[in-house]
Amino acid sequence: MNAAPRSGPSDRHVPVLVVGGGGSGLTASLILSDLGIASLLVERHPTTSIQPKAHILNARTMEIFGHHDVADDIYREGAPPENCGAMVWLSSLGGEEPYDRKVLYRTSAYGGGEEAERYARASAYRHANLGQRWLEPLIRRHAEKRGPGELLFHHELTSLDEDESGVSATVRDRTSGESFQVRAAYVIAADGGKTVGRMRDIPMTGTPTFLEWINLHVRADFSPFIPYDDAVVNRVSSLAEDGTLEHCGVVPMGPRNWGRHSEEWTLMFSRPPGDPGAADVDDATTVKMVRRTLKLPDDHPMEVESISKWPVEGLVAERFRSGRVFLVGDAAHRHPPSGALGLNTGIQDVHNLAWKLARVLNGQAGESLLDSYEAERKPVAQRVVERALFSLFNQIAFTAGTGVVPGARPEWNRAQMTALFSDTPDGDTRRAVLREYFDTNRITTAHLGLEMGYDYAGAGFVGADRATYPKPDPLGLVYEPTSSPGARLPHAWLRCGTERVSTHHLLAQPGAFLLLAGARGEGWLTAAARLSASYGVPVAAHAVGAAGGPVDEEGEWAGLCGHDRDGAILVRPDGFVAMRWLSRVHEPAQALAEALRRSLALDGDSGAGRRG
């Protein structure tokens, strides 16, 4: 029975209540602190995740962490680039059949290997690889340092009410059993959909549970069985005694050594939820199943740290905003881990939302700016969910290339796998065909266009110019950088004095806008200084190629900015282009003022924050 809420001086009053202390919630706390906004984070568990969980952080996410001075720590604690550049498929780790312990396929993955140069052209930041078991404490340390006393673990939200001026929440201390009241202007729900979305009656729509995913966090020495040291993921697809292919991911998790010499691993496999007794499989049976799939020798030591099970689904919240409540991360969208998109999308949700909350709370933006969060992020989430579902099924499609037929007699399937690795012309042909199947998996491992190529132009909260937008690659592989309004600011190297900096490094101050003008941009710089003071919003302004300004030594920016020496672009605090002027305008101050007013929703406040 819950204790009655106590009132008085112990009650908390904060601008933002963050519910959930996983990757998205912790990042929200961190970013809000950097924006000068106090918050209170409550997390029902006593500590951060004990599971490795998600581990790939893509370049766009690392740009965000770089902007908030966390990226270097993540790179330092995570895998070195030489240990996370490939994905490998294996027929087993052990076993003595002719088709055991074979490499089915190997490809560059997540910006490593042969993809490194292409990814480096897109961002100054490389992918990182650090499981949430280690990532979350790292972000928590930064968040607590910047917002002392603002993170409460082992505390849970038990009620949430809203009125015209804010929200009232009841929070229970799970250690003492006592409850207290929190009054906030807004709520960020980063709780994985466990609490707030249900309290607000926000349905999730899409593909319901179709698999049960099982993760094992283990300590083991798999180096005798893993052939490559740079595989960020090893996928085992082994032929069982009954002739079926069984699949299991073998993911190195470090944390001191990496690659094939990792001390800790995540083993991942799935089961249809309708399997007889699927819900009743105990931990010991689960371990036996995994050892059988991997074909590990019976005497090879493997210490199981923990086992977690969760439903695989493809769902998007019907609404990302309900009045003063905003859903981020898994509370807003849930999907399979294929393509390493979940945590990344959640962190990018928070980055989109936080600066808008800060400007509204500081009275520098219209309340209707907060409507842009759902308008911009929901289409991105929908695309990510669709891709993750398709990627999951596509990863299984290679089965057809092996010749193994589900339901066929075991003898037939064993013969197919034996023929696949035979040193004959037939074997050569079979392996060539299999590579064709596997090559389609690049939509999972090399989808730079999906990671970087989304834009917010269609949401109606950025300006427009006469330039045409690149047509998106339907596979999401190709990223065409553009400075069109709504697109992510393209990365290009510039010279500032003696320092080589990325255009993204010029977004130096959290919450500030960035104006990048051409070489004849003095009028833009003057306007930016004046308007920054009058609007109370910082605008960092640079004229690329002008005396004292950044120098485009390599000519990259000239090919990306899309404007001439008299034009300019305005970039929002989240790194997306708000407006672009292709050439000279008669009144730079007027043009820039109009762009800022649109970006801050100051041309008419709909009062949408009071909607249910």
How many other β-carbons are positioned within 10 Å of the β-carbon of residue 36? 12
- Work out the pLDDT band at 274, boundaries 50, 70, 90: low
Q: Which amino acid is located at 392 in the chain?
A: L
Average of per-residue pLDDT across 440-465: 93
The per-residue pLDDT for range 65-83, each reduced to its tens digit, is: 999 999 999 999 999 999 9
Pick the CATH number of 11-80+126-205+314-390 from 3.90.1150.10, 1.10.275.10, 3.50.50.60, 3.40.605.10: 3.50.50.60
Answer whether residue 482 shows pLDDT above 60: yes
Residue 276: the pLDDT is 55
Instruction: Specify the length of the chain in residues.
Output: 612
The phi, psi pair for 239, rounded to 5°, reads -90, 120
Looking at the DSSP bridge assignments, the partners of residue 155 are 173
Hey, which residues does 495 pair with through a beta bridge? Answer: 500, 551
* pLDDT attached to residue 92: 97
Domain ranges of the chain: 11-80+126-205+314-390, 207-313+398-444, 456-599
Give the burial string for 155-189 (b: 16+ CB within 10 Å, else e).
bbbeebebeeebbbbbbbeeeeeebbbbebbbbbb
Percentage of the chain beyond pLDDT 70 is 96
For residues 609 and 1, what is the distance between their CA atoms, to the nearest angstrom?
Answer: 34
Same fold, 11-80+126-205+314-390 and 456-599: no
Statement: 207-313+398-444 belongs to CATH 3.30.9? yes
Two tokens, residue 531: 């308007």
pLDDT at 142 over 70: yes
Pick the more confident residue, 213 or 420. 420
The per-residue pLDDT of the chain, averaged, comes to 93
pLDDT exceeds 50 at position 1: no
pLDDT of residue 584 exceeding 50, the answer is yes
Q: How far apart are CA 341 and CA 323, in angstroms?
A: 27
Confidence grade of residue 9 (pLDDT, cut at 50, 70, 90)? very low
Interatomic CA distance for residues 353 and 609, integer angstroms: 13
Neighbours of 397 (CB within 10 A): 12
Q: What is the CA radius of gyration of the chain?
A: 26
What is the mean predicted confidence (pLDDT) over 183-206? 96
The widest CA-to-CA distance across the chain, in whole angstroms, is 82
Query: DSSP readout, 125-152?
Result: S--EE--HHHHHHHHHHHHHHHSTT-EE
CB 111 within 8 A of CB 84: no
- The candidate with the shortest Cα–Cα distance to 192, out of 388, 54, 67, 16, is 54
pLDDT by residue (tens digit) across 300-320?
Answer: 999 999 999 888 899 999 999
pLDDT at residue 342 tops 80? yes
Residue 160 in this model has a pLDDT that exceeds 80: yes
Q: Quick one: pLDDT at residue 396?
A: 81
Residue with the larger pLDDT of the pair 283 and 379: 379
Look up the CATH architecture of domain 456-599: 3-Layer(aba) Sandwich (3.40)
What does the alpha-carbon distance between residue 194 and residue 346 come to, in Å, rounded to a whole number? 15
Q: What is the pLDDT of residue 611?
A: 39
Confidence label for 199 from pLDDT (cuts 50, 70 and 90): very high
d(CA 515, CA 518): 10
Specify the pLDDT at position 66.
Answer: 97
